[in-house]
Structure 1
Amino acid sequence: MKQLDLKKDSTRKLFFRYLLPSISATLVTSIYILADSIMIGKGVGPEGIAALNIVLPLFTLFFGTGLLFGVGGSVLMSIANGSNDSLLGKQYFTTSVLSVTFISIFLLIIMQLGFKPILYFLGATDVTFTLASEYGRTLVAGAPVFMFSALLQAFIRNDKDPNLSMIGVITGGVTNIILDYIFIYIFHWGMFGGAIATVIGSSITCLILIVHFFKKTNQLKLVKNGFSMKRFSKVVTSGLASFLIEISNGIVTFLFNIQLVKYIGDIGITVYSIIANSSFIVMSLANGVAQASQPILAINFGAGERKRVDEVKHLGFITTTIIGSIIVALGALFPGVITGLFVHATDEILSLAIPAIRMYILAFLFMNLNIFISGYFQAVMKPQYAMGVNLLRGLILGSAFVLILPLFIGANGIWISMPIVETISFAVALALNYKMKKVI
Structure 2
Amino acid sequence: MKQVNLLEDPVNKLFARYLLPSISATMVTSIYIVADTLMIGRGVGAIGIAALNILLPLFSLFFATGMLFGAGGGILLSVSKGKMNDLAANQYYTAAFLMAVVMSTVYTVLGHVLFTPVTRFLGSNETMGPYVEEYGRILISGAPAFLFSSFYQVFVRNDKAPRVSMTAVVSGGVFNIILDYILIFPMNMGMAGAAAATVTGSALTLVILLTHLVSKENTLRFVAGAKIGQAAEVVKNGISSFLLDMCNGVVTFLFNRQILSIAGEMGVVVYGIISNSSYIASSVNNGISQAVQPILATNFGAGKKARLTKVRQLAERTASVSGAVFAVTGFLFPALVTEAFVRPDPEILAMSVPAIRIYFLSFAAMGMNILYTTWFQSVMEPGNALKICLLRGILLNSFLVFLLPVFMGITGVWTVMPVTEVITFAACRIMLKKQEL
TM surpasses 0.5: yes
Off by >3 Å, runs of 4+ in structure 1:
none
Greater CA drift, 79-88 or 396-405: 396-405
Partner of 2:45: 45
Residues 2-81 of structure 1: pairs in structure 2 closer than 5 A: 2-81=2-81
Deviations 1:259-296 (A, max 9, x none): 01100000000000000000000001100000000000
Residues 407-418 of structure 1: pairs in structure 2 closer than 5 A: 407-418=406-417
* Cα distance in 1, alignment partners of residues 318 and 156 from structure 2: 23
Partner of 1:145: 145
Partner of 1:102: 102
Which amino acid in structure 2 is aligned with residue 48 of structure 1?
A: G
Which amino acid in structure 2 is aligned with residue 13 of structure 1?
A: K
* Cα distance in 2, alignment partners of residues 107 and 383 from structure 1: 26
1:51 Cα deviation from its structure 2 partner: 0.3
Contact 1:29 1:169 in 2 (8 A): no
Partner of 1:375: 374
1:225 Cα deviation from its structure 2 partner: 2.6
* Cα distance in 2, alignment partners of residues 309 and 328 from structure 1: 28
Residues 202-221 of structure 1: pairs in structure 2 closer than 5 A: 202-221=202-221
Partner of 1:200: 200
Partner of 2:365: 366
* Cα distance in 1, alignment partners of residues 117 and 27 from structure 2: 32
Which amino acid in structure 2 is aligned with residue 105 of structure 1?
A: T
* Cα distance in 2, alignment partners of residues 41 and 123 from structure 1: 19
Deviations 1:118-140 (A, max 9, x none): 00000011111110111111100
1:386 Cα deviation from its structure 2 partner: 0.8
Partner of 1:162: 162
Partner of 2:184: 184
Partner of 1:334: 333
SS at match of 2:185: helix
Which amino acid in structure 2 is aligned with residue 219 of structure 1?
A: T
Partner of 1:280: 279
SS at match of 1:221: coil
Asked if 1:310 corresponds to 2:309, the answer is: yes
1:28 Cα deviation from its structure 2 partner: 4.0
Contact 2:19 2:288 in 1 (8 A): yes
Residues 129-144 of structure 1: pairs in structure 2 closer than 5 A: 129-144=129-144
Q: Unpaired segments of 5 or more residues in structure 2?
A: none
Structure 2 length-normalised TM: 0.99
Contact 1:289 1:319 in 2 (8 A): yes
* Cα distance in 2, alignment partners of residues 134 and 103 from structure 1: 24
Residues 233-252 of structure 1: pairs in structure 2 closer than 5 A: 233-252=232-251
Asked if 1:260 corresponds to 2:259, the answer is: yes
Partner of 1:119: 119
* Cα distance in 2, alignment partners of residues 29 and 114 from structure 1: 24
Tell me the C-alpha RMSD between the 2 structures. Answer: 0.8
Deviations 1:76-130 (A, max 9, x none): 0000000010000000000010000011101111111010010000001111111
* Cα distance in 1, alignment partners of residues 282 and 397 from structure 2: 16
* Cα distance in 2, alignment partners of residues 393 and 366 from structure 1: 11
Which amino acid in structure 1 is aligned with residue 87 of structure 2?
A: L
1:424 Cα deviation from its structure 2 partner: 0.3
Which amino acid in structure 2 is aligned with residue 221 of structure 1?
A: R
SS at match of 2:27: helix
Contact 1:29 1:173 in 2 (8 A): no
Contact 2:248 2:279 in 1 (8 A): no
* Cα distance in 2, alignment partners of residues 7 and 429 from structure 1: 27
* Cα distance in 2, alignment partners of residues 355 and 245 from structure 1: 27
Greater CA drift, 399-408 or 71-80: 399-408
Deviations 1:216-262 (A, max 9, x none): 12110100232x22111101111111100122221110110000110
* Cα distance in 2, alignment partners of residues 429 and 130 from structure 1: 43
Which amino acid in structure 2 is aligned with residue 103 of structure 1?
A: M
SS at match of 1:224: coil
SS at match of 1:265: helix
1:29 Cα deviation from its structure 2 partner: 3.5
SS at match of 2:5: coil
Residues 419-434 of structure 1: pairs in structure 2 closer than 5 A: 419-434=418-433
Contact 1:294 1:379 in 2 (8 A): yes
* Cα distance in 2, alignment partners of residues 388 and 188 from structure 1: 46
SS at match of 1:186: coil
Deviations 1:345-395 (A, max 9, x none): 111110000000001011111111101111111111111111100100011
Deviations 1:393-431 (A, max 9, x none): 011001110111111221111010110011001100111
Which amino acid in structure 2 is aligned with residue 347 of structure 1?
A: P
Percent identity between the aligned chains? 47
Which amino acid in structure 2 is aligned with residue 252 of structure 1?
A: V
Give the number of aligned pairs.
437
Partner of 1:354: 353
Deviations 1:168-208 (A, max 9, x none): 01100000000000000111111111111010001001111
* Cα distance in 2, alignment partners of residues 320 and 380 from structure 1: 19
Partner of 1:387: 386
Contact 1:392 1:425 in 2 (8 A): yes
Structure 1 length-normalised TM: 0.98
Greater CA drift, 18-27 or 35-44: 18-27
* Cα distance in 2, alignment partners of residues 403 and 128 from structure 1: 24
* Cα distance in 2, alignment partners of residues 289 and 168 from structure 1: 18
SS at match of 1:345: coil
Q: Unpaired segments of 5 or more residues in structure 1?
A: none
* Cα distance in 1, alignment partners of residues 217 and 408 from structure 2: 58
Greater CA drift, 208-217 or 259-268: 208-217
* Cα distance in 2, alignment partners of residues 306 and 110 from structure 1: 45
